[in-house]
Amino acid sequence: MTVPVAGPVPHPKKPAVALPRGACDCHAHLFGPSDRFPYTEGRGYTPPDAPAEKFLAMLDALGFARGVVVQGNAHGYDNRAILDAVRRFPDRLRGVAITDTAVGPKELRQWHDWGIRGLRFHIYFGDNKPGYKRGVGWDAFEVFRPTMLELGWHMQMWIDWRALPENEERIRRLPLPVIVDHMLNIPAERGVGDPSFQTLLRLLGDGKCWVKLSGAYRVSSRFPDYPDAKLLHQALVAANPDNLVWGTDWPHPQVDAAVMPDDGVLVDLMNAWTPDAALRRKIFVDNPIRLYGFPPAA
């Protein structure tokens, strides 16, 4: 049996500072409804249903116009939940899928028409892999590479922070955008000077990757304000704000209910850690338009 996990804060606080018009939450997951989109065998956890309608309600409550839904582990390679969402809400949602190579170019082109804009890959360090089925790696990427280039897609990368230095040159050579999840998932206590984080700053500063300013609560144990994650965030903003996007990571799978982040608080932290309103607009609005192909904000 897989472990049931907690759901998100049902009524997040209203952000203290209003989001700019056209703001986008660039990292969230959809789960279920499980009677329509069953959870996969071999998953690492069993979430409560978090369908598109609940995600859109959260976006509305916080003031987001748009969102990006990323395939989550509970659905494995079955992308029907996010495909359904981007098809039904094309003005508001884009998607990033995870799939094995059983899916071919024709199907990927159809996904593009519906609103998918990238594929997500998992890169592990040594043999440090989870004991459950999770993601695809470099070998699958090489199969997908020609079609991803054709479609103008990006490679979203969950990478073990310890593995980034050994993959730096390979990332630099890639002819398509690469976005690194959750500020590299590096423990914030390691600090900005850690060699792996310095590698990330180098890639970002040289325009060779993008980074998601998300998951502060995943890199820091200092709930609810994550002050050590602030230093990572600000170093990334200083390195290259043109290649950054931000996301809630709603509905926060595999986080204990006692330390479940409030999505409104996460927005407040983003605003506090990025005091320049012009930079916040770039990260919330302009950069998502470039990366995900949203139309210009009204």
Q: Which residues are catalytic?
A: 249
Going by C-alpha positions, the residue among 97, 11, 28 that lies closest to residue 67 is 28
d(CA 81, CA 205): 35
User: Which residue's entry shows tokens 């060699």?
Assistant: 195
Phi, then psi, of 202 in degrees rounded to 5: -65, -50
Residue 238, H or E segment: helix 227-239
Q: If DSSP codes are grouped into helix, strand and coil, which group holds residue 125?
A: coil
Going by C-alpha positions, the residue among 292, 273, 98, 267 that lies closest to residue 210 is 292
d(CA 165, CA 46): 33
Tokens at 267, concatenated: 């927005």
Cis (ω within 30 of 0) for the bond into 15? no
| CA 19 to centroid of chain Cα atoms | 19
d(CA 250, CA 161): 22
Tokens at 285, concatenated: 């609005």
Query: CB neighbours of 76 closer than 8 A, spacing ≥ 6?
Result: 40, 41, 42, 43, 98, 133
**DSSP tag of 15:** P
d(CA 18, CA 156): 28
Going by C-alpha positions, the residue among 228, 208, 226 that lies closest to residue 217 is 226
